[in-house]
């Protein structure tokens, strides 16, 4: 939490650095993710427990207090163990005086829990465990769904699977899961998707190492069916890392003549190649910036382009709760400017009559409909074909019409928040 809140580190990287290959890593990760998920509420609680609200505490001591409060307020640890382990952690850090303070704070929360929660929850930000600017953006962009989005963003993420259609049907793989003692339910709108009743390590999934199945949220699995390439088409996945959508396209549409998987980050390009290799799928993998095609493009147009733009990630906060701490209001216009540039550049690579799918895992209109509307207004060659593409999806997804494009609000059908718009180039 110190690394995330005070130093701007990504939570996953901070946990990996601290836990490394330790056997205690799952427990460390659970505590870290849970505390960051509820950080805004826990900070408000801590301020009400201190004699002087806002009083400075050493960073490590404050982090320990928040971890202890998380366990008491939301965790599964027995209360006595949560208190004693937090106190012992302070002693282990060489802070015996802090141990006494932490013991007093946590025991007071146990005694006065309801009154302290009521006082903290006067603040909407504390009650819903999100920064106020983000709640205001949810409310503005999703007046009928904003509370659902906030609640879904605070939930533990489910584990969705994507069955490799080249290897087996969804029902066949579901039977393999059942034989291995794992329950899973099919998705009504993503034909290769299964929702596990309980998340498991991927090593336990039958055939994972052989490429029979991958982990991918149901909302992200819609991308391949919005792209919907016909046999013989040349396809570009313009921001492809880590490669899940590129792999799904190749699994679901084996008649693709060539798929180019592009990403600007060399380290992330390695993950694309690794995923393709595990699944035994062919693709041309390139390192390059979709906004600067001169460095990698061979001049041949693509009939289909998937542009899954870098974004705020506000639709996947439940998977990356540090987004609530790391993002700032002025990040959003910066993302939108970058997204507009990527869209303009990628559309230039599209063949006449072709389709570009603009996608993001943001739920903020400034990064989605606003970007696409501005592009449509400035480019008479571009036509919004989202509705016709949506009608041909293999199932009835709980998509919401956003005026330009469509979106899943976070938590709809237990899926992540996602946005899609289909733009076609006049022939």
Q: Is pLDDT of 3 > 60?
A: no
pLDDT digits (tens, 9 = 90+) for 78-92: 999 999 999 999 999
Give the N- to C-terminal CA distance of the chain in Å, as an integer. Answer: 53
User: Is there a contact between 402 and 366 (Cβ–Cβ < 8 Å)?
Assistant: no
pLDDT digits (tens, 9 = 90+) for 120-150: 999 999 999 999 999 999 999 999 999 999 9
Separation of alpha carbons 175 and 182, rounded Å:
9
Same domain, 176 and 49: no
pLDDT value of position 299: 97
User: Is there a contact between 218 and 190 (Cβ–Cβ < 8 Å)?
Assistant: yes
Q: What is the enclosing helix (H) or strand (E) of 318?
A: none
pLDDT digits (tens, 9 = 90+) for 148-185: 999 999 999 999 999 999 999 999 999 999 999 999 99
| Annotated catalytic residue 361 | yes
CB contact set of 171 (below 8 Å; sequence gap of 6+)? 186
pLDDT digits (tens, 9 = 90+) for 211-228: 999 999 999 999 999 999
**Helix, strand, or coil (residue 174):** helix
pLDDT value of position 55: 63
- The percentage of residues in the chain with a pLDDT greater than 70, rounded to a whole number, is 94
Residue 96 pLDDT grade (very low, low, confident, very high; cuts 50, 70, 90): confident
pLDDT digits (tens, 9 = 90+) for 343-385: 999 999 999 999 999 999 999 999 999 999 999 999 999 999 9
Query: DSSP class of residue 418?
Result: E
Q: Domains in the chain: how many in total?
A: 3
pLDDT (mean) for 304-317: 98
Rg of the chain in Å (alpha carbons): 23
pLDDT value of position 308: 98
In a domain, 298, yes or no: yes
Same domain, 326 and 408: yes
Q: Is pLDDT of 35 > 70?
A: yes
28-37, 189-198, 294-303: least confidently modelled range: 28-37
Same domain, 349 and 201: no
pTM here? Answer: 0.94
Same domain, 184 and 94: no
CB contact set of 65 (below 8 Å; sequence gap of 6+)? 46, 57, 86, 102, 105, 106
- The percentage of residues in the chain with a pLDDT greater than 90, rounded to a whole number, is 89
Query: DSSP class of residue 185?
Result: E
pLDDT (mean) for 243-249: 98
Burial of 78 (0-12, 13-18, 19+ CB in 10 A): exposed
pLDDT (mean) for 27-38: 92
State which of 215, 233, 257 marks the end of a domain: 215
State which of 194, 215, 236 marks the end of a domain: 215
Residue 26 pLDDT grade (very low, low, confident, very high; cuts 50, 70, 90): confident
Regarding beta strands 350-360 and 382-384, do their DSSP bridges make them parallel or antiparallel, or are they unpaired?
Answer: unpaired
Separation of alpha carbons 173 and 367, rounded Å:
37
In a domain, 100, yes or no: yes
Closest CA to 275 of 187, 191, 196, 216: 216
Q: Is pLDDT of 46 > 60?
A: yes
Cα dihedral sign, 192-196-201-206: negative
CATH number of 44's domain = 1.10.940.10
Cis peptide before 154 (omega within 30 of 0): no
In a domain, 386, yes or no: yes
| Residue-wise burial string across 319-354, b where 16 or more C-beta atoms lie within 10 A, e elsewhere | bbbbbbbbbeeeebeebbebbbebbebbbebbbeeb
Query: What mean pLDDT, rounded, does the chain reach?
Result: 94
Q: What Å distances lie between residue 24 and 15, 16, 19, 85, 266, CA to CA?
A: 11, 11, 7, 14, 31
For the chain, give the number of residues. Answer: 427
52-56, 64-68, 99-103: least confidently modelled range: 52-56
pLDDT value of position 28: 84
In a domain, 32, yes or no: yes
Q: Which residue has the tokens 């007071």?
A: 108
pLDDT value of position 8: 58
Same domain, 188 and 238: no
Separation of alpha carbons 138 and 421, rounded Å:
20
pLDDT value of position 154: 98
pLDDT value of position 242: 97
In a domain, 192, yes or no: yes
Q: Is pLDDT of 200 > 70?
A: yes
Separation of alpha carbons 68 and 103, rounded Å:
10
State the DSSP string of 253-279: -TT-SEEEEEES-HHHHHHHHHHHHHH
DSSP H helices, 310-412, are 323-326, 331-347, 369-378, 386-391
pLDDT value of position 9: 61
Same domain, 188 and 319: no
Active-site hit among 247, 361, 406, 422: 361
Q: Can you give the residue range of the structural domain that contains 29?
A: 2-129
């Amino acid at each position: 939490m110190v690394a995330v809140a005070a130093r701007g580190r990504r939570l996953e990287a901070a946990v990996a650095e601290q836990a490394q290959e330790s056997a205690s890593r799952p427990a460390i990760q659970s505590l870290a993710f849970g505390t960051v998920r509820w950080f805004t509420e826990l900070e408000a609680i801590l301020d009400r427990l201190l004699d002087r609200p806002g009083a400075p505490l050493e960073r490590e001591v404050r982090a320990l207090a928040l971890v202890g409060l998380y366990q008491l307020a939301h965790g599964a640890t027995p209360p006595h163990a949560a208190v004693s382990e937090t106190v012992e952690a302070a002693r282990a850090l060489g802070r015996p005086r802090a141990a006494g303070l932490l013991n007093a704070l946590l025991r007071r929360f146990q005694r006065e829990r309801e009154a302290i929660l009521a006082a903290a929850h006067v603040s909407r930000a504390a009650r819903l465990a999100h920064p106020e600017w983000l709640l205001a953006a949810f409310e503005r962009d999703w007046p009928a769904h904003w509370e659902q989005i906030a609640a879904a963003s605070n939930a533990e993420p489910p584990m969705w699977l994507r069955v490799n259609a080249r290897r087996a049907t969804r029902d066949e793989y579901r039977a393999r899961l059942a034989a291995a003692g794992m329950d899973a339910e099919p998705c009504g709108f993503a034909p290769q998707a299964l929702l596990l009743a309980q998340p498991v390590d991927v090593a336990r999934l039958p055939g994972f190492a052989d490429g029979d199945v991958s982990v991918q949220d149901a909302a992200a699995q819609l991308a391949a069916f919005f792209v919907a390439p016909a046999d013989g088409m040349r396809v570009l996945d313009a921001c492809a890392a880590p490669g899940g959508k590129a792999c799904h396209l190749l699994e679901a549409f084996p008649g693709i003549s060539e798929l180019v998987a592009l990403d600007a980050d060399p380290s992330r390009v390695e993950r694309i190649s690794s995923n393709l290799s595990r699944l035994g799928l062919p693709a041309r993998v390139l390192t390059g910036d979709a906004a600067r095609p001169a460095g990698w493009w061979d001049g041949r147009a693509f009939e289909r382009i998937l542009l899954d733009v870098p974004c705020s990630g506000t639709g996947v906060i439940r998977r990356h709760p540090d987004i609530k701490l790391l993002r700032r209001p002025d990040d959003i216009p910066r993302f939108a400017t970058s997204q507009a540039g990527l869209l303009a550049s990628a559309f230039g690579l599209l063949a006449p009559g072709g389709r570009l799918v603009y996608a993001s895992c943001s739920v903020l209109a400034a990064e989605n409909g606003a970007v696409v509307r501005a592009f449509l207004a400035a480019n008479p060659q571009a036509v919004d074909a989202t509705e016709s593409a949506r009608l041909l999806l293999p199932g009835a997804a709980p998509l919401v019409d956003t005026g330009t494009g469509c979106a899943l609000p976070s938590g709809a059908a237990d899926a992540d928040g996602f946005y899609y718009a289909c733009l076609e180039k006049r022939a």
